[in-house]
């Protein structure tokens, strides 16, 4: 038997696949562990590419759009006045996210692997919820003063954050998971797959209740937008579920209702801060329209434009708006390429042909886009490393469906020519 220092290609693909599942589970729970596993998987994938001599330019529109976004944000970081911090942040966020996209798209390519991915993804989300519920019940919330305007919401003493460390980030993460989970529930319900519907519904209820207890108004609005999307394209009866909003406002006097009412009133510290923040950010955009200020350098540059809070110890890490933040940090081309990535995956997924599993994934990527783009109107949750990796792994998952169908179509065309 011949011994080799490094495994063969078949074994290395096996290791990478297992590492991907491990990243999916560990990233929302313990990001440091997730990062070690992710970069290990990226290293194995690079070795696999080099040893196979298969290094090449991307194939297909989706891969090109992701590569252009990664490349442009890298160029923006290099040209930044704070290039050292910008480049390190770019590697930590964008390159890692692009690497996750490539790993899932390349090494998760069979129905069995897609199913394992989904189970790992939903299982990790349930663990995040259970940890959040435990913290919500038993652990004092020492950060509540930073998260709630006490003068407007004096009775709101707890907001769930779990392993995401912040209620808005937890809400954004759960929104992404719900975009997938509920899409599968709706598709399986149509085809009367009772067993799958029951198991998915239990998970969906846990996710929804946890999302509700984040008390994140922007996330609630985004979820309502997702319901509208599902009602239009999947199940019209979901329009009736939106009647729950006025019923809660009229009949229930708890903190959920008070947070909902505040959306329509619009007078609180959080809303006032955001308007001032967005106005100041526009000055940054006007002065840096092409390359921006560099990825994740907002908190370094913003004090020069901040007229609302004249206090050097108060840091604004991002613009609390996805569109303005990406505009400020990567310029107009950066925002356009980012939107191209999202919309490109949605449009391409619509054209996919496949079984119920693929159909649900098609609907899920549309819901994901709605959730990200709507929540981005009032916050920038992709600032979080955990949320960013979750976002890119879901896009990579859909990209894997597209890649497999593309290969199958090529093989079919080749066999016909033969």
55-69, 335-349, 380-394: segment of lowest average pLDDT: 55-69
Q: In 3D, which of 307, 222, 231 has the Cα closest to residue 273?
A: 307
pLDDT number for residue 1? 36
Q: In 3D, which of 68, 49, 60 has the Cα closest to residue 406?
A: 60
Query: Is residue 50 included in any domain, yes or no?
Result: no
339 has pLDDT over 70:
yes
Query: Is residue 54 included in any domain, yes or no?
Result: no
Quote the CA–CA distance of 3 and 10 in Å, as a whole number.
15
Confidence of residue 267 (pLDDT cuts 50, 70, 90): low
Query: Is residue 47 included in any domain, yes or no?
Result: no
Asked whether 117 and 397 are in contact (CB, 8 A), the reply is yes
Query: Is residue 341 included in any domain, yes or no?
Result: yes
Confidence of residue 40 (pLDDT cuts 50, 70, 90): very high
- Tell me the CA distances in angstroms from 387 to 93, 291, 381, 390, one per residue in order: 10, 24, 7, 5
**End-to-end alpha carbon distance in the chain:** 40
Query: Is residue 25 included in any domain, yes or no?
Result: no
**130-155: pLDDT as tens digits:** 999 999 888 877 666 665 555 555 55
> Which residues span the domain enclosing 167?
62-412
HSE toward the beta carbon, residue 26, CA cutoff 13 A? 15
CB atoms within 10 A of CB 193: 15
pLDDT number for residue 119? 96
201 has pLDDT over 70:
yes
4 has pLDDT over 90:
no
Q: By percentage, how much of the chain surpasses pLDDT 70?
A: 82
Per the structure, the count of domains in the chain is 1
pLDDT number for residue 9? 59
Q: What is the mean pLDDT of residues 214-242?
A: 89
Quote the CA–CA distance of 189 and 197 in Å, as a whole number.
6
Number of helices and strands (H, E) in the chain? 17, 0
The mean predicted confidence, pLDDT, of the chain is: 87
259 has pLDDT over 70:
no
pLDDT number for residue 283? 94
pLDDT number for residue 3? 41
- Tell me the CA distances in angstroms from 334 to 325, 348, 397, one per residue in order: 10, 21, 23
Q: In 3D, which of 278, 298, 277 has the Cα closest to residue 288?
A: 298
pLDDT number for residue 2? 42
Q: What is the mean pLDDT of residues 351-372?
A: 90
Query: Is residue 1 included in any domain, yes or no?
Result: no
**70-99: pLDDT as tens digits:** 999 999 999 999 999 999 999 999 999 999
Asked whether 305 and 283 are in contact (CB, 8 A), the reply is yes
pLDDT number for residue 75? 98
Write down the pTM of the prediction.
0.91
29 has pLDDT over 90:
yes
Query: Is residue 4 included in any domain, yes or no?
Result: no
Quote the CA–CA distance of 263 and 36 in Å, as a whole number.
40
57 has pLDDT over 60:
yes
Q: What is the mean pLDDT of residues 268-293?
A: 87
Packing angle of the helix pair 9-29, 31-52 (nearest 10 deg): 160
396 has pLDDT over 80:
yes
Confidence of residue 69 (pLDDT cuts 50, 70, 90): very high
Query: Is residue 88 included in any domain, yes or no?
Result: yes
Quote the CA–CA distance of 21 and 417 in Å, as a whole number.
39
């Amino acid at each position: 038997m011949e011994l080799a220092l490094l495994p063969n290609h078949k074994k290395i693909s096996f290791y990478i696949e297992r590492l991907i599942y491990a990243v999916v589970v560990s990233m929302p729970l313990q990001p440091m562990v997730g990062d070690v596993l992710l970069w290990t998987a990226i290293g194995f994938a690079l070795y696999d590419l080099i040893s196979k001599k298969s290094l090449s330019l991307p194939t297909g529109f989706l891969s090109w759009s992701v590569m252009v976004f990664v490349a442009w944000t890298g160029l923006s970081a290099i040209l930044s006045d704070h290039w050292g911090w910008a480049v390190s942040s770019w590697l930590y966020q964008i390159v890692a996210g692009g690497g996750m996209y490539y790993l899932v798209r390349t090494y998760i390519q069979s129905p069995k692997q897609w199913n394992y991915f989904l189970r790992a993804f939903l299982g990790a989300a349930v663990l995040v919820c259970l940890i959040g519920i435990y913290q919500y019940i038993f652990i004092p919330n020492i950060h509540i003063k930073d998260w709630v305007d006490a003068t407007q919401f004096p009775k709101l003493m707890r907001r769930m954050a779990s392993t995401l460390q912040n209620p808005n980030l937890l809400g954004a993460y759960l929104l992404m998971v719900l975009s997938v989970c509920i899409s599968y529930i709706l598709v399986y319900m149509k085809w009367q797959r009772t067993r799958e519907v029951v198991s998915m519904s239990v998970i969906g209820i846990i996710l929804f209740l946890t999302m509700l207890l984040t008390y994140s108004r922007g996330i609630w609005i985004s979820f309502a937008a997702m319901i509208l999307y599902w009602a239009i394209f999947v199940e019209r009866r979901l329009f009736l579920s939106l009647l729950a909003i006025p019923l809660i406002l009229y009949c229930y006097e708890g903190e959920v209702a008070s947070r909902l009412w505040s959306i329509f009133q619009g007078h609180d510290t959080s809303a006032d801060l955001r308007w001032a923040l967005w106005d100041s950010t526009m000055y940054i955009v006007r002065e840096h329209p092409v390359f921006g200020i560099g990825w994740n350098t907002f908190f370094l540059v913003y004090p020069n434009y901040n007229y609302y809070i004249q206090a050097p110890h108060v840091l604004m890490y991002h613009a609390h708006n996805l569109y303005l933040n990406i505009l400020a940090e990567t310029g107009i081309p950066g925002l356009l390429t980012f939107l191209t990535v999202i919309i490109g995956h949605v449009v391409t997924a619509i054209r996919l042909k496949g079984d119920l599993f693929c159909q649900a994934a098609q609907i899920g990527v549309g819901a994901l886009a709605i959730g990200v783009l709507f929540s981005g109107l009032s916050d920038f949750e992709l600032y979080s490393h955990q949320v960013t990796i979750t976002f890119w792994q879901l896009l990579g998952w859909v990209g894997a469906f597209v890649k497999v169908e593309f290969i199958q179509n090529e093989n079919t065309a080749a066999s016909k020519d033969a």
